[in-house]
Amino acid sequence: MKGIMQSWPLTVNKLIEHANHVNPTREIVTRRVEGHIERTTYRDIYIMAKQVSNALIDDGIGLGDRIATLAWNSERHMATWYGAMGIGAILHTVNPRLHPDHIAWIVNHAEDKVLILDKTFLPIIESIREKLTSVKRFVIYADDDTMPDNTLGAVAFDTWVRARPAEARWGDFPEDTACGLCYTSGTTGNPKGVVYSHRSNLLHTFIALNKDALGIGTQDSVMPVVPMFHANAWGLAFACPAVGSKIVMPGAQMDGASIYELLTVEKVSFTAAVPTVWLMLMTHLQENDLKLPHLNKVVIGGSALPERILRAFEEDYDVEVIHAWGMTETSPLGTLGTLPADLAEADLDQRIQHKLKQGRPPFGVELRIADDEGQTLQHDGKVSGRLLVRGAAIAAGYFRGDGGDVLDGRGFFDTGDVATLDEQCTMQITDRAKDVIKSGGEWISSIEIENIAVGHPKVANAAAIGVYHPKWDERPLLIIEPVKDEPPTREDVLAELEGKIAKWWTPDDVVFVDAIPLGATGKINKLALREQFKDYKLSTA
């Protein structure tokens, strides 16, 4: 017997429709690329999104067509998402920090028909224009006054949508229809496309709104610093309209001073970004002796959370840190470091130690660890293995079947991360499978060495990689980017590690570089480092 309840397809247009009905006047604040602040509301976004739908329909776009954006977080970008997804087109967020040739490859692979960009990225697209084989229409986020000269034959976004009807049929398709496309960073081989469905995005929104996940509400002023092109701004462009929180979009300016200004003026209570952004903010706060009176919670993820950022937020600024782990393939929230009940009363140091781990899966996400043969390993917080994930918003494969069959016999996806899980399912990443340093058949966690090294005040960034050793196969080489004007010595760095890691984990050499290369999502580019140091001869070799 079937249940006798209404059918209410889980399609994302319902989110912005709800915001328009229930929180129409709640503000969306954007720092435009021109630098000024633009104030709009959920109702404005709803209307703009309907106009985008009509502009797309008039351009011949329909179900399953791909629309690319190369854009910062803004109200126009958000309206584009809902306008495209509402009519069953697939919104493809392209990461503008990728190499232009990669961007061309991705846009062609996706066969994007429309490409909408911020003018900051005009030089990139003009440089690859000839290579783009599928794009029929270029749109630039601008109005008549701010439209730049260009060789794309592009139209200004405001002109493109203006005067279009605010009526369009939305959600007229099954809930498992594709709605979003995002390519993985592709550190090995070609990038692969993750195809989100309406249903998975809506379920991910319910997951995100869990009090032990992001847990935002209508009274929050939320600033997604994490870009919408980086794993869907961690779900915030969907979660905020669901509850009607105010949204503050930082646009292109993510330096410490600009972020601080928005945090203060817009009374931001909740924000999210990768550690690099928070390092810049901390420097600004410390240099100018500033406080954060409005901010309650900050989500930090994308790469491991350095202890000094965690301590600064919690101890100096009284802001609750939620350490999060996820990936493009997990929509992206996979685990969150909110405190389990037995640590609610724990002292600060215990809470800090817990929060340095990546956290626990919310309902809707299942985790296990396994050995190379796929056998489940013990959840004892000690044994590490391949991290596998299954759930309501986890990829089952890639666009066009790239990468082949990615699920194991039980339907779990291999994350490529190596981790431990304890009996309460608290996860701690020990490495990326391909970054693990294999010394004499045993594994050394590069992340753990890096996390400790960046704890030294004279170290700006650190990367540990395995380099060839005739006896041990690989030994760790520690690469240090010093704080400007105050470089540490090799002994300073090694002293920082002493006693905190097993003796045999101690790097054989320490080298200093001007800058550690970062990839398109702000993570250390280990591939580039391995290439740079591939002929390095260890002093112990």
Residues recognised as catalytic: 184, 329, 438, 443
Which residue lies nearer to ligand AMP by CB, 284 or 432? 432
- Minimum distance, C-beta of residue 6 to ligand AMP, in the bound complex (Å): 36
Report the alpha-carbon distance of residue 389 to residue 411 in Å, rounded: 9
Please give the residues from 209 up to 268 whose contact with ligand AMP meets the rule CB under 6 A. 231
Shortest Cβ 509–ligand AMP spacing (Å): 25
User: With binding defined as CB under 6 A, does residue 303 bind ligand AMP?
Assistant: yes
Residue from 234, 325, 413, 505 in contact with ligand AMP (CB under 6 A): 325
Nearer to ligand AMP, 168 or 225 (CB): 225
Quick one: DSSP state of residue 312? I
| Inter-residue contact 166 to 82 (CB < 8 Å) | no
Residue 306 phi, psi (nearest 5): -70, 140
Distance CA 38, CA 308 (A): 34
Q: How far apart are CA 292 and CA 297, in angstroms?
A: 11
What's the alpha-carbon Rg for the chain, to the nearest Å? 23
Residue 95 touching ligand AMP (CB under 6 A): no
DSSP line for 35-102: S-EEEEEHHHHHHHHHHHHHHHHHTT--TT-EEEEE--S-HHHHHHHHHHHHTT-EEEE--TTS-HHH
Q: Quick one: 231 or 280, whose CB is closer to ligand AMP?
A: 231
Instruction: Name the minimum Å distance from CB 529 to ligand AMP.
Output: 16
Task: Please answer whether residues 79 and 48 qualify as being in contact, where contact means their C-beta atoms are separated by less than 8 angstroms.
Answer: yes
Is residue 94 near ligand AMP by the rule CB under 6 A?
A: no
Give 33 or 208: the residue with its C-beta nearer to ligand AMP: 208
User: Which residue lies nearer to ligand AMP by CB, 51 or 303?
Assistant: 303
Residue type (1 letter), 282 = M
- d(Cα 511, Cα 528) in Å, to the nearest integer? 15
Question: Closest approach of Cβ 156 to ligand AMP, in Å?
Answer: 32
Distances (CA, A) of 427 to 44, 289, 342, 354, 357: 41, 35, 16, 10, 6
Count of residues engaged in binding ligand AMP, rule: CB under 6 A: 21
Sorted by sequence, the CB contacts under 8 Å of residue 151 that are 6+ apart come out as 126, 129
Q: Which is nearer to ligand AMP, 263 or 304 (CB)?
A: 304
Which parts of 425-444 interact with ligand AMP (CB under 6 A)?
429, 432
Region for residue 52 given its phi and psi (left: phi exceeds 0; alpha: psi -120 to 50; beta: otherwise): alpha
Segment near ligand AMP (CB under 6 A), from 297-305, 372-380, 402-410, 510-518? Answer: 297-305
Give, in degrees to the nearest 5, the angle at Cα 370 between 366 and 373: 135
Q: Which amino acid is at 412?
A: F
Rounded CA-CA distance 67/198 in Å is 16
Q: In the complex, what is the shortest distance from the CB of residue 232 to ligand AMP, in angstroms, rounded to a whole number? A: 10
C-alpha neighbours within 13 Å on the C-beta side of residue 271: 27
Three-class SS state of 478: strand
Interface residues for ligand AMP in 407-426 (CB under 6 A)?
415-417
The stretch among 208-216, 327-335, 347-355, 480-488 that binds ligand AMP (CB under 6 A) is: 327-335
Least distance between ligand AMP and beta carbon 468 (Å): 24
Complex with ligand AMP: residue 75 or 431, whichever CB lies closer: 431
Among 20, 41, 201, 521, binds ligand AMP (CB under 6 A): 521
Are 217 and 229 contacting, i.e. CB atoms less than 8 angstroms apart?
A: no
From the list 161, 182, 144, the residue with the least C-alpha distance to 50 is 161
Q: Which residues contact 374 (CB under 8 A, 6 or more apart)?
A: 408, 409
Q: Which of 51, 245, 328, 439 binds ligand AMP (CB under 6 A)?
A: 328
* Site for ligand AMP contains 184 (CB under 6 A): yes
Find the part of the chain contacting ligand AMP (CB under 6 A) among 38-46, 75-83, 298-306, 490-498: 298-306
Stretch that binds ligand AMP, among 105-113, 320-328, 372-380, 396-404 (CB under 6 A): 320-328
Burial class (CB in 10 A: 0-12, 13-18, 19+), 381: middle
Position 302 contacts ligand AMP (CB under 6 A):
yes
Applying CB under 6 A, the span of 100-108, 300-308, 389-397, 489-497 interacting with ligand AMP comes to: 300-308
Q: Which is nearer to ligand AMP, 11 or 73 (CB)?
A: 73
User: By C-beta, is 158 or 417 nearer to ligand AMP?
Assistant: 417
CB of 20 to ligand AMP, least distance (A): 31
How deeply is 345 buried, as exposed, middle or buried, from its count of CB atoms within 10 A (0-12, 13-18, 19+)? exposed
Stretch that binds ligand AMP, among 84-92, 279-287, 302-310, 482-490 (CB under 6 A): 302-310
Minimum CB separation of residue 325 from ligand AMP in Å reads 4
- 339-358 residues in contact with ligand AMP (CB under 6 A) are 358
Q: What is the closest distance, in whole angstroms, from the C-beta atom of residue 337 to ligand AMP in the complex?
A: 8
- Give residues in contact with ligand AMP (CB under 6 A): 184-185, 231, 301-304, 323-328, 332, 358, 415-417, 429, 432, 521
